[in-house]
Amino acid sequence: MCGIVGYVGSSEKKEILLDGLKELEYRGYDSAGIAVIEGSNLNSFKAVGKLENLVEKAKSFKADSFGVAIGHTRWATHGKPTELNAHPHLGKKSYVVHNGIIENYQELKKELIAEGVTFLSQTDTEVIVHLFEKYSESSEPFEAFQKAIERLDGAYATLLITQDAPDTIFFAKHGSPMLIGFGEDGIYFASSDTAIIGKASEVYYLEDGEYGYAKGSDVAIFNKEGKVEFTKKPLSSDKVSAQKDGYRFFMEKEIYEQSTVIVDTMMGRVLDSEVVLDEIESGFFDGINAIKICACGTSYHSALAASYLFERMAKIRCDVEIASEFRYKEPLLSSDTLFITISQSGETADTLEALKMAKRAGLKSLTICNVDNSSIVRESDVALLTRAGIEKGVASTKAFATQTMLLWILAIYIAQLRESVSKEQIASEIEAMRHSPTVLKVTDALHSKIHRLSKRYLHGHGFFFIGRDLFYPLALEGALKLKEISYLHAEGYPAGEMKHGPIALADSNLFTVALMPKTLLYDKIKSNVEELSARDATILAISPESFELADDFIQTKYASHPMLEFFEMMVVTQLLALEISIRLGNDVDMPRNLAKSVTVE
């Protein structure tokens, strides 16, 4: 949530900031802003809404002499998405940008107001710049910055520039991601490395509690023990930024990419007669008798699906928790439990904190993640990367597909170790895995059918996505996709549970998307759908088997393995959400109120 960039050097700063913010816009697009100090010149621009508004506003601005610059793209937490609440926030002669939440900002604000400070915004962030300026009255800038940071509780990645030190950026990180890039033309800061690729050749990922300054080309980092000796890592320059390549939206492109990225996820892991995971050292599973998975949103849904696979195939106890719930429930954790996190971004604050808690309790940890070097990857004992490539659409699609595939591989891997399934069964799982890329291919016929039929589903009083077993998490995911990009109310429900309450809602304006696989509990779900149809619900059935009570029917083809049916139905639900959202005229890739990476709790 929120993206920040910074730069110290002589190159044209506006372009550096705007390029970086473009890459970070997925983190929030309520407003954007930049501030530049060059000698005694201090300039800033802010605009509400997407980055293009800021680009327009700063069109004729140029900043190419030596100086410092910071930028921000906002996902609003405190205060509405207005220009006054947009970052950078200005004091008398300093600017600040921040990603995170300052939990004690009200207390600090009260104190500062009592001392005569006037606040312009409703944000928590503004306290940082006023604290800094208060301490600057009696201290050198770096000391003042240190004193300000010491007063903050909560999560922050923050950059501050001031006319008192026009060649310096002050930075601090605690709980929100930030890195420093080192390039020939200057020093860069960003929330994620995608913002500085092609500019910096080396990078240092700041740890929690680190702060410091970049002055010219000199960077000094400190923590509470003193000065930090840090080692830079090379930053590859070939991570090309994602382009739409002719698709209408990134989400659409990412749905189509699933059949190829799944191959990357399997590469070197799915062999002829076994699965291997080189990232896991032998002995890692010694003493492990249970698995707990923690995640949020779509990643939570892939975790739920995995729990069926872990118990069924690997015969290992598995429970799944929503990370934000797990954190505060005072969970009982025992060291024979492997703690698995799942995250596309690797930066989700609740998942990261849950992981830290589990580590403090002495649990071994493993993450399934899409972003190498992300905070969750760095914090975990073992990281299995999903290799989905950059996912730009806020609604997660290919990340979900690759997470689910990797969890399936992991379930078989553990089953091999525990010898809980026969060689024949492993062979049949592997054969099914190898079929997955074909199943994930979007055909023109399927896409046009969903496009045509989506017209019927633009109104009504809501959707139920129903499924059983593995298809219950898929129902949850289908409903989440639809609600986040169409703004229509949708719920995922276990089909067998409808009669315990929700069936009361059934009438012809209740749309039911029924996931009816042939390989798992077909007769059971069929009865559940019949019960709904008898009460006049409008049924969209997705199944290999034709279903006479369906108002609309999408016939699937691959009824040889539950996971193949899972992947095929997943694509159908993704396309359905996409087409409904496009018909409603929504911005599919940047749905209202959301951000791609949720780095606040």
Residue whose CB is less far from ligand M6R, 394 or 537: 394
What distance in Å separates the CA atoms of residue 238 and residue 422, rounded to the nearest whole number? 43
- Segment 284-313, which members bind ligand M6R (CB under 6 A)? 296-299
Q: Among this protein's residues, is 2 annotated catalytic? A: yes
In the complex with ligand M6R, the residue whose CB is nearer, 349 or 550, is 349
Nearest C-alpha neighbor of 98 from the set 87, 108, 109, 107:
87
Task: Tell the smallest beta-carbon distance from residue 591 to ligand M6R (Å).
Answer: 8
Instruction: Give the CB-side neighbour count of residue 436, counting CA atoms within 13 A.
Output: 31
Verify binding: residue 77, ligand M6R, rule CB under 6 A. Answer: no
Shortest distance, CB of residue 504 to ligand M6R, whole angstroms?
Answer: 28
* Minimum gap (Å) between residue 121 Cβ and ligand M6R: 26
Taking the complex as a whole, the smallest distance from the CB of residue 251 to ligand M6R amounts, in Å, to: 9
Cβ proximity to ligand M6R: between 255 and 313 the closer is 255
Q: Which helix (H) or strand (E) holds 205?
A: strand 202-205
Q: Are 446 and 440 in contact (CB under 8 A)?
A: no
Token pair 């949530």: residue: 1
Q: Any idea what DSSP says for residue 561?
A: S
| Nearest-approach distance from CB 442 to ligand M6R, in angstroms | 18
Least gap, CB of 296 to ligand M6R (angstroms): 4
Map tokens 């890739």 to a residue: 589
The correct pick among 36, 305, 318, 394 for binding ligand M6R (CB under 6 A) is 394
Nearer to ligand M6R, 259 or 298 (CB): 298
* Strand-pair partners of 512: 464, 539
Q: Which C-beta is closer to ligand M6R: that of 68 or that of 395?
A: 395
Closest residue to ligand M6R: CB criterion: 297
The least distance separating ligand M6R from the CB of residue 299, rounded to whole angstroms, comes to 4
- Which residue, 350 or 429, is less far from ligand M6R as judged by CB? 350
Give the contacts of 217 (CB within 8 A, at least 6 positions apart).
8, 186, 187
Q: Are 411 and 420 in contact (CB under 8 A)?
A: no
Residue closer to ligand M6R, measured from CB, 206 or 296: 296
CB of 371 to ligand M6R, least distance (A): 8
State whether residue 43 is helix, strand or coil.
strand
DSSP string over 219-262? EEEEETTEE-----EE--S--PPP--TT-SSHHHHHHHHHHHHH
* SS3 state of residue 6: strand
Interface with ligand M6R (CB under 6 A), residue from 255, 291, 395, 407: 395
Residue from 308, 296, 301, 381 nearest 343 by CA: 296
- Give the closest residue to 22 by CA, choosing from 601, 590, 598: 590
Please state whether the peptide bond connecting residue 88 to the residue before it is cis, i.e. omega within 30 degrees of 0: yes
**Region near ligand M6R per CB under 6 A, out of 116-124, 240-248, 394-402, 517-525:** 394-402
Task: DSSP for 69-133, please give it.
Answer: EEEEEE--SSS-S-TTTSSSEE-SSEEEEEEEEETTHHHHHHHHHHTTPPP-SS-STHHHHHHHH
For ligand M6R, the closer of residues 324 and 454 by Cβ is: 324
Separation in Å, CA 153 to CA 18, 40, 175, 381, 452:
30, 33, 10, 28, 52
DSSP state of 184: T
* Catalytic residue status for 294: no
Site residues (CB under 6 A) for ligand M6R, limited to 333-352: 343-345, 348, 351
Q: Which of 44, 162, 194, 396 binds ligand M6R (CB under 6 A)?
A: 396
User: What size, in residues, is the chain?
Assistant: 601
Q: Check the CA dihedral 578-584-585-587 and report its sign.
A: negative
**Measured CA distances, 168 to 183, 190, 205, 223 (Å):** 16, 16, 19, 19
**Residue list 473-502, contact with ligand M6R (CB under 6 A):** 480, 484
Write the interaction track for ligand M6R spanning residues 351-390; mark x where CB under 6 A is met and - where it is not: x---------------------------------------
CB of 548 to ligand M6R, least distance (A): 34
The catalytic position among 22, 46, 109, 596 is 596
C-beta of 357 vs 506, nearer to ligand M6R: 357
- Tell me if 598 contacts ligand M6R by CB under 6 A: yes
Q: Which is nearer to ligand M6R, 192 or 298 (CB)?
A: 298
Would you state the structure tokens that stand for residue 490, as one six-digit string? 């949708």
Total residues interacting with ligand M6R, rule: CB under 6 A: 16
CB neighbour list of residue 188: distance below 8 Å, 6 or more residues apart: 5, 6, 7, 16, 20, 180, 181, 182, 195, 196, 199, 200
Choosing from 2, 294, 318, 369, which is the catalytic residue? Answer: 2
- In 3-state terms the chain splits into helix, strand, coil percentages (rounded to 5) of 35, 25, 40
Q: For the CB of residue 476, give the shortest distance to ligand M6R in the complex, in Å.
A: 11
Site string for ligand M6R, 441-480 (x = CB under 6 A): ---------------------------------------x
571 scored as a contact of ligand M6R (CB under 6 A):
no
Residues that bind ligand M6R (CB under 6 A): 296-299, 343-345, 348, 351, 394-396, 480, 484, 597-598
Give the residue numbers marked as catalytic: 2, 596
